[in-house]
Chains A and B, each alone.
Chain A
Amino acid sequence: MPGNQDSASRSPLSQQTPSRGRRKQKSNPRGQSTPQLQGQTPQQNQNIKNASPGEGDTPKTKAQLRAERRALQEAQRAAKAATKQSPSTPVSTKKTPRKFGLQMQDTADKHDKVSISGGETPRNVTSISTIQRRTGFFAHLPRYQHNVSLTKDANPKIHPAILKLGLQYVEGVICGSNARCLALLGTLKQVIETYSTPKQKELSRDLSTNLKKNMDFLAQSRPLSVGMINAFKHLKSCINGIPREKAEDEAKQDLYGCIDSYKQSILLAGKAIAKNLIENDKITDGDTIMVYAFSSLIKNVLCEAHDKGKTFSVIVVDGRPKLEGREMLRRLVKHGIKCSYILISAASYVMREVTKVLLGAHALLANGYVMSRVGSSQVALIARSYNVPVLVCCETYKFTEKVQTDSFVSNELGDPNSLVQIGKKENYLSNWKEQKSLHLMNFIYDVTPSDLISMVITELGMVPCTSVPVVLRIKQV
């Protein structure tokens, strides 16, 4: 992470400048928030600043430094105790609301509510209750941050195009693995365009570090998808392959070519998959195909099949809270395909009429499991119980060496508040935050076991789910 690498390596006490202090706060989204920083007031920051040795001091012995560090630690602990006991301090941490409020506000809100609801809450209860609300099945994953400060204290090394992209990811303007990956490649191209090698530095090394910083920033805004990681790996290998002597412009041209060809391969893969499906009569006349949520690849496949004259009908299954299926329905209906629409709870009812299930994928894991939008595994399970074949369409660039057996170890958490809205009806959960025992869980992906899937279609052809490592091996050669 930009700037944080420095702070992370050193002890948290040697925070000197205010900017560094705030950068430290930015490190909270990654993993558990360090309890020390919770409810820290600017006054506390000042204390720390004053307590720590100034920058211009004479070099001290190691022992002295250690002693000073210990003193700082004690000061911080005392500060933390003071914060927890005084209910008034959280109020002062509330900064004036800005367009992208501080992430601190989020944790402060929690403290606020806890102390307000409890009155003079004893120290233990506060800490336990806040911890309770965060523990659960996904305690090891980054919590959903909806007020992340991105533009604030942005590292000047982050390219503005990347900033924009990060924002688009966070806001959900760009979503869907293919869309995100293509957008990333486009933006990286822009970054390379404006990049110029500083003196004394090698293009390949410096560009790599630069791009890495940008990617870290994106990862912070929203965890990277497997496709994006693979695309970046490919680009890095291209960069590393540039010989030292090559002129900058030429090297850049090479890199553009690399990016473009990768982009093309993704788009062509989509076309090849559609072709495979249609030519091998996997979509036949009279089929009733079930699809889940939105997948750009599946949409293209169905549109192409329709264009080639196949008559079939589609049942679009949708899941809350994202309701991406509506977008799929819209586009298919516009294309002239006969469609039905249901929510996932009705999938069991309609499954008798279905002849095939087509699912998109976010990633294909090396043990043959498919990581896709949450709910796909459920559709696959119901399909299996009715003996309906489940086909997964996935380009090979989404294949990964990772293995996972369930949906918990690695996932992405979404905004729990999005569960509250239920349309025109009165929202039952409008006060969910006040109920201490109530948690809302919203996660984005789930993992479908390989025995629920009949076939995976890639641009290389139709393979069984278990052949993912074979494909990975071929690609590396």
Chain B
Amino acid sequence: MWLRNGQMETIDIQIKDPIVRNKVDGLIEDLKHGNILGSYQLAKNTVEVLLHMISKEELANVKKLISVIREQGQRLMSAQPSETVVGNMVYRVLKIIRDECRAIDETAEEQSQESIQKSSTAPGDDVSNKDILSLKKLLLAEGDVDISDKSISSLKAPIIDAVNELLVELDTSQENISAQALEHIHSNEVIMTAGQSHTVEAFFKKAAKKRTFKVIVVECAPFYQGQKMATNLASAGINTTLITDSAVFAMMARVNKVIIGTHTVMANGGLKAINGCHAIALAAKYHSVPLVVCAPMYKLSPKYLCSCDQVAFNKFASPEDVMSFSEGEILSKAQIYNPIFDYVPPELVTLYIFNIGGNAPSYVYRLLSELYDTEDQEL
């Protein structure tokens, strides 16, 4: 159902191609059972499924394509609401489709009209001007670009190209982040990190080739990924010290930088990170230690945190990790919590290192507007 200008239109949004349908259902199953580990893998799988959908599905026009993707995207997102990467990728693909449409529109307009008279547009601001909701748009009373009846044939190729580019971006994001390592780590630094992040691990390993520094890893009970990280770093020859979560504030007095990875970057520049990161961020703020977050762009989410109990913000794991069932007697009388994620507000973060470069948390809104279209926000 698509509500547009007050008219209700029903559109056939069933996937016709059985292979594509299987793929989508397969992905949904994987999401529900948690078979896919790691945001990168999830992102890749989602984009691949969407790519299949675009290339294989027989659709009349762009409007139908967008609605199919929205519908299927909604199914994917509701399969595992706490994994924001799935939603991010769906929005990215939708934005790609809209961008390609607008690009074709622009060229068509330019060809039909001789006057390149666009006094209203600032130089070099063509495509972005029209799709960003802005004051200007309000004033110029431009209607939303009507993409409903564009034929899909001319668009399919460029869309598929752009989605493939997105896949390449996913693959190279870790490399691009590590390439910036030497700019941020100097010799004889003491750096603190928490839990296990493949991005940060690669970051350190790259820097260790040319610099000597010490790393303090927080173990992050009760999942203990920090221990795995510590062994990995130590096998790479980096001087690593492992500490418990309770020692963070005490150790922070000797730390020069904190570099962590994150699960998601929220729209206001805050973080949804592993449990315990808020305490680390507070300790860093107290001791005036910069907090640097390494995050690939696919982790950037357009969602805001409304309150800590926001539906699908936090997940809870089995309390057995905290206190085993063998302590049965007290278990029955006490409540045990085991949250997985933690929210870190943007004022505690000093710098983000994305694959496109470093940015302050205050600039995240801008990156969002480049990656995602506001029209898809109500999904």
Contact = CB atoms under 8 A, between A and B. Distances in A.
Q: Do chains A and B touch in the complex (CB under 8 A)?
A: yes
Interface of A: 136-137, 316, 319-321, 326, 329-330, 333, 339-350, 352, 373-375, 377-378, 381-382, 385, 406-408, 419, 422-425, 428-429, 432, 435-443, 446-447
Interface stretch (B13-21, B46-54, B278-286, B363-371): B278-286
Given A320-B244, A345-B275, A345-B279, A437 B234 contact: yes
Complex A-B, nearest 8 residue pairs according to Cβ-Cβ distance, in ascending order? A375-B246, A319-B246, A345-B276, A438-B234, A407-B250, A446-B250, A348-B278, A428-B227
Interface string B236-277: 011111111111111101100000000000000000000110
B325 to A, nearest CB: 10
B282 A385 contact: yes
Contact of A438 (B240, B323, B338): B240
Given A340-B334, A344-B221, A428-B228, 5 more contacts: A136-B241, A346-B337, A349-B308, A407-B251, A437-B233
Given A429-B227, A441-B241, A320 B333 contact: no
Interface of B: 216, 219-222, 224, 227-228, 230-231, 233-235, 237-251, 253-254, 275-276, 278-279, 282-283, 286, 308, 314, 321-324, 327, 330, 333-339, 342
A349 B339 contact: yes
A373 to B, nearest CB: 8
Contact of B241 (A320, A346, A440): A440
A97 to B, nearest CB: 28
Contacts of A438: 230-231, 234, 240-242
Given A342-B322, A432-B231, A440-B241, A329 B279 contact: no
A378 B242 contact: no
A326 B279 contact: no
A341 B322 contact: yes
Contact of B335 (A137, A339, A375): A339
Contacts of A345: 220-222, 245, 275-276, 279, 342
Contact of B245 (A319, A381, A428, A442): A319
28 contacts: A329-B330, A329-B334, A339-B333, A340-B336, A341-B323, A342-B337, A343-B322, A344-B245, A346-B275, A346-B338, A348-B276, A348-B278, A348-B279, A349-B314, A375-B246, A375-B247, A408-B254, A423-B222, A429-B227, A429-B231, A435-B231, A437-B233, A437-B237, A438-B230, A438-B231, A441-B247, A442-B243, A446-B246
Contacts of A422: 221-222, 224, 227
B333 A381 contact: no
Nearest to A352: B308
A436 B237 CA distance: 8
A377 B249 contact: yes
B337 A330 contact: no
Nearest to B344: A348
B239 A437 contact: yes
B253 A407 contact: yes
Given A345-B275, A446-B249, A321 B336 contact: no
Nearest to B336: A341
A229 B58 CA distance: 84
B242 A441 contact: yes
A348 B278 CA distance: 7
A378 B224 CA distance: 19
Contacts of B333: 333, 339
Contacts of B342: 345, 348-349
B334 A339 contact: yes
A313 to B, nearest CB: 9
A382 B249 CA distance: 10
A435 B232 CA distance: 10
A83 to B, nearest CB: 27
Nearest to A136: B241
B219 A320 contact: yes
A148 B304 CA distance: 56
A437 B339 contact: no
Contact of B282 (A381, A406, A423, A447): A381
Contact of B247 (A329, A425, A443): A443
A141 to B, nearest CB: 13
A443 B233 CA distance: 22
A419 B244 contact: yes
Most A C-beta atoms less than 10 A away, residue of B216, B327, B335 = B335
Contacts of A340: 334-337
A460 to B, nearest CB: 29
Contact of A378 (B220, B246, B339): B246
A385 B336 CA distance: 23
A423 B324 contact: yes
Most A C-beta atoms less than 10 A away, residue of B239, B246, B251 = B246
B244 A321 contact: yes
A398 to B, nearest CB: 19
A429 B242 contact: yes
A176 B233 CA distance: 36
Contact of B278 (A321, A382, A425): A382
B227 A442 contact: no
Nearest to B216: A441
Contacts of B245: 319-320, 343-345, 375, 378
Contacts of B239: 437, 439
A443 B334 contact: no
A428 B224 CA distance: 9
Contacts of B279: 344-345, 347-348, 378, 381-382
Nearest to B246: A375
Nearest to A424: B324
A321 B227 CA distance: 13
Given A346-B339, A349-B342, A382-B278, A326 B237 contact: no
A373 B224 CA distance: 21
Nearest to B323: A341
A363 to B, nearest CB: 15
B329 to A, nearest CB: 8
Contacts of A407: 250-251, 253
Contacts of B327: 326
B225 to A, nearest CB: 9
Contacts of B330: 326, 329-330, 333
